[in-house]
């Protein structure tokens, strides 16, 4: 009988065969499945420890931040954490209850405490998101309330500012009393809540995000299409030219990668602006008059041109890596079988480049959806994308919850697209390099 610890037990000794229940067993009587699991367990454990650093890295640098971002998009406890008594009152009294003495007392106590703790600015910021113009209401009340507020509280607070009696303010505070809210998502699709807490569209002049989402996806599609049209022949040349020429061409393709984004963008401005090189040339050639200089930058055209240039390598490289593996004999075979060169391209060559095209298109599209520096610099008014709004909320208005909600919607859009791609083409039919 083989030693039970001998990892080769199942192999070196005659298999024990089937027992009464029909389980396959090793020579020493253990079920074959268990023996197999046992022998492969150590290899699996070692493999796990090898990938552990990467796993931790991905977890810490990718999964956690994204999780935090998603949490931030629905959670903002700026009010609920710093106004505990009023929050408790909202909790005890259902919507529609008029603020009673207890409510005013709670407000007074919270205002004084928040002012003391210097958190009143945070509270004001939170309420200001849902009701613009109220941050200073809180900060000024805080300054006055630092020494405490004397009863009667209602009168004392209303004396500071009449706005404290506004039902809309109380409605907004009630919503903010819950640390979790869908309001940022509502705002991200141009919706808001009215005094009664019902969802309504924001005034037309404030509506922007839905439009920008559509524009972002449309522009990204256009950019993907132009990178394909320009990149396909280049990738083909790269794959078929002799080594020396193709290396030179490859350097040209990669050149945008080696120059700073700002330098590239600035050079596009120099080229494309109305007093720029291209317009000067067109005027010099007499194609257009001096008064008809074309507006090619600071609009959507500029965004498409500059981003196509920047993202072109991401289309060319996957296409190239796929095309390089396509044996020229396929096209020759098609030609010998009677296909014209166009038919051979369409029916034989092009279908085989689809995995590279899919990978390139997905890369370019996802990168285009998230770009913001280039559209900010060359996009003008009509070339703004949703990512510019995210950046604005991140750095300017400091409304990170709003930025997170917009980013989450963008992420969802990209995931849906990914899913559609999987259904239409198959995600395993994707070759990134």
Partner 1 sequence: MTADPGNDAFVVFDHVQKSYDGQTLVVKDLNLAIGKGEFLTMLGPSGSGKTTCLMMLAGFETATHGEIRLDGRNINDVPPHKRGIGMVFQNYALFPHMSVGENLSFPLEVRGMGKAERETRVARALDMVQMGRFKNRRPAQLSGGQQQRIALARALVFDPKLVLMDEPLGALDKQLREHMQFEIKALHDRLGITVVYVTHDQGEALTMSDRIAVFDDGRIQQLAAPPVLYEQPENSFVAGFIGENNALRGTIEQLQGDKALVRLGNGELIDATAVNIREVAQTTTVSIRPERVEFKPDLMPQGAHTIEAQVRDVIYMGDILRARLHVAGQDDFVMKYRNTLGQVKLSPGETIRIGWHPEDARALDPV
Partner 2 sequence: MKRTLILTSALVAIAATAQAQDKQVNLLSWGGAYGRSHVEAYVKPFEQQTGIKVQVSDADNPATPVKAQVEAGNVTIDVASVEYADAVRLCDEGLLEEFDPSILLPTADGTSAEDDFIEGAITECFVGTDVYSMILAYDDSKFPDAKPAGAADFFDTAKFPGKRTMRKGAKFNLEFALMADGVAADQVYEVLGTPEGVDQAFAKLETIKNDVIWWEAGAQPPQLLADGEVTMAFAFNGRIFNAAQQEGKPFNIVWDGQIYEMEGWVVPKGAPNPEAAKEFIAFSTAPEQQARAAEFISYGPPRTSAAALVGNIEGTDVPMGPNLPTYAANLENALASNLDFWVDHDAELQERFNAWLAN
Which spans of this chain sit near partner 2 (rule: CB under 8 A)? 117-122, 128-129, 132-137, 139, 205-208, 211-212, 215, 270, 273-276, 298, 376-377, 380-382, 384, 389, 392, 396-397, 399, 402
The only residue of 45, 91, 168, 332 in contact with partner 1, by rule CB under 8 A: 332
Q: Does 343 bind partner 1 (CB under 8 A)?
A: yes
Q: How far is the CB of 114 from partner 2 (least distance, A)?
A: 11
Binding mask 276-315 for partner 1 (x = CB under 8 A): ----------------------------------------
| 335 is a site residue for partner 1 (CB under 8 A) | yes
The reply to whether 396 sits near partner 1 by the rule CB under 8 A is: no
Tokens linked to 336: 């010998």
273 binding partner (options partner 1, partner 2, none; Cβ < 5 to 8 Å by kind): partner 2
Options 230-238, 255-263, 328-336, 420-428: segment touching partner 1 (CB under 8 A):
328-336
- Interaction partner, residue 45 (partner 2, partner 1, none; CB < 5-8 Å by kind): none
Written in H, E and C, the secondary structure of 22-53 is CCEECCCCCEHHHHHHHHHHHHHHHHHHHHHH
Question: Is the CB of 139 or the CB of 352 nearer to partner 2?
Answer: 139
Question: Which one, 323 or 389, has the nearer CB to partner 2?
Answer: 389
CB 298 within 8 A of CB 275: no
Which residue in 340, 415, 420, 427 binds partner 1 (CB under 8 A)?
340
Smallest CA-to-CA distance from 170 within 119, 74, 103, 105 is with 103
Asked whether 294 and 287 are in contact (CB, 8 A), the reply is no
Token pair, residue 398, equals 């400091």
Shortest Cβ 273–partner 2 spacing (Å): 5
What minimum distance in Å lies between the beta carbon of 277 and partner 2? 11
Q: Is 337 in the site for partner 1 (CB under 8 A)?
A: yes
Taking the C-alpha atoms of residue 330 and residue 127, their distance in angstroms, rounded to an integer, is 66
Q: Are strands 17-18 and 24-25 parallel, antiparallel or unpaired?
A: antiparallel
Residues near partner 1 (CB under 8 A), total: 19
CA 174 to chain centre: 31
∠ CA 186-187-191, nearest 5°, is 65
**Both tokens of residue 227?**
């990178």
In the list partner 1, partner 2, none, the entry touching 51 (Cβ below 5 to 8 angstroms by class) is none
Q: Which is nearer to partner 1, 118 or 347 (CB)?
A: 347
Task: Considering the complex, state which of residue 44 and residue 347 has its C-beta at the smaller distance from partner 1.
Answer: 347
Choose between 247 and 341: whose C-beta lies nearer to partner 1.
Answer: 341
The nearest distance, CB 341 to partner 1, in angstroms, is: 8
CB 424 within 8 A of CB 351: no
Reference 361, options 265, 425, 268; nearest CA is 425
3-state secondary structure of 166: coil
Chain-centroid distance, C-alpha 44: 34
Nearer to partner 2, 5 or 381 (CB): 381
Residue 351 binds which entry of partner 2, partner 1, none, CB below 5-8 Å type-dependent? partner 1
User: Considering only residues 48, 257, 330, 419, which one is a binding residue for partner 1 as defined by CB under 8 A?
Assistant: 330
Nearer to partner 2, 249 or 373 (CB): 373
Polymer length of the chain: 433
Q: Is 249 in the site for partner 1 (CB under 8 A)?
A: no
**Comparison of 27 and 425: residue with beta carbon closer to partner 1:** 425
CA 370/CA 365 separation, integer angstroms: 9
For 46, the token pair is 């070692």
Cα 21–chain centre separation: 55
351 near partner 1, judged by CB under 8 A = yes
Helix (H) and strand (E) counts for the chain?
21, 4
Spatial distance between the Cα atoms of 124 and 115, rounded to a whole number of angstroms: 11
Whether residue 330 contacts residue 284, with contact meaning beta carbons closer than 8 Å, is answered with: no
């Amino acid at each position: 009988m083989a030693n039970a610890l001998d990892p080769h037990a199942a192999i070196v000794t005659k298999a024990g065969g089937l027992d009464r229940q029909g389980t396959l067993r090793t020579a020493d009587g253990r079920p074959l499945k268990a023996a197999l699991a046992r022998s492969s367990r150590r290899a699996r454990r070692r493999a796990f420890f090898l990938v552990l650093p990467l796993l931790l890295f991905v977890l810490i640098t990718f999964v956690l931040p994204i999780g935090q971002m998603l949490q931030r998009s629905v959670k903002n406890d700026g009010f609920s954490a710093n106004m505990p008594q009023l929050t408790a009152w909202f909790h005890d009294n259902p919507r529609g209850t008029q603020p009673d003495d207890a409510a005013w007392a709670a407000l007074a106590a919270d205002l004084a405490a928040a002012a003391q703790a210097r958190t009143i600015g945070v509270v004001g910021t939170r309420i200001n998101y849902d009701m613009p113009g109220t941050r200073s209401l809180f900060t000024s009340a805080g300054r006055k309330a630092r020494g405490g507020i004397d009863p009667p509280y209602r009168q004392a607070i209303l004396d500071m500012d009449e706005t404290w009696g506004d039902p809309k303010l109380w409605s907004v505070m009630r919503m903010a009393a819950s640390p979790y809210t869908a309001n940022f998502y509502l705002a991200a699709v141009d919706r808001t809540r009215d005094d009664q807490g019902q969802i309504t569209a924001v005034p037309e002049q404030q509506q922007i995000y839905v439009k920008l989402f559509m524009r972002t996806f449309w522009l990204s599609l256009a950019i993907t299409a132009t990178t394909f049209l320009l990149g396909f022949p280049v990738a083909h040349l790269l794959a078929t030219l002799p080594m020396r020429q193709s290396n030179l061409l490859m350097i040209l393709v990669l050149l945008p990668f080696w120059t700073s984004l700002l330098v590239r963008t600035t050079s596009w401005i120099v080229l494309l602006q109305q007093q720029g090189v291209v317009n000067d040339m067109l005027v010099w050639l007499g194609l257009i008059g001096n008064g008809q200089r074309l507006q090619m930058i600071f609009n959507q055209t500029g965004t498409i041109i500059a981003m196509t240039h920047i993202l072109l390598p991401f289309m060319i490289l996957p296409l190239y890596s796929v095309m390089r593996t396509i044996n020229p004999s396929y096209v020759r075979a098609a030609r010998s079988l009677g296909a014209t060169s166009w038919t051979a391209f369409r029916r034989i060559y092009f279908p085989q480049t689809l995995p590279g095209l899919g990978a390139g298109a997905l890369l370019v599209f996802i990168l285009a959806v998230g770009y913001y520096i280039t559209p900010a610099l060359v996009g003008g008014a009509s070339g703004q994308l949703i990512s510019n709004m995210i950046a604005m909320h991140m750095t300017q208005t400091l409304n990170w919850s709003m930025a997170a909600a917009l980013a989450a919607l963008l992420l969802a859009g990209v995931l849906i697209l990914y899913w559609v791609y999987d259904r239409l083409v198959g995600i395993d039919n994707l070759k990134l390099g």
